[in-house]
Amino acid sequence: MNLSHSITPIVSLIAGILILLIPRLLNYIVAIYLIVIGLIGLFGTGSFRL
- The domain ranges of the chain are 11-43
Residue 28 has pLDDT above 70, yes or no: yes
Q: At what angle do helices 26-43 and 3-21 cross, to 10 degrees?
A: 180
Cα distances from 17 to residues 22, 27, 39, 50, in angstroms, run 9, 14, 22, 35
44 or 14, which is more confident? 14
Residue 1 has pLDDT above 70, yes or no: no
pTM over 0.75: no
Q: What is the CA radius of gyration of the chain?
A: 13
Average pLDDT of the residues in 4-22:
78
Q: How confident is the model at residue 25 (pLDDT cuts 50, 70, 90)?
A: confident
**Distance, CA of 33 to CA of 24 (rounded, Å):** 15
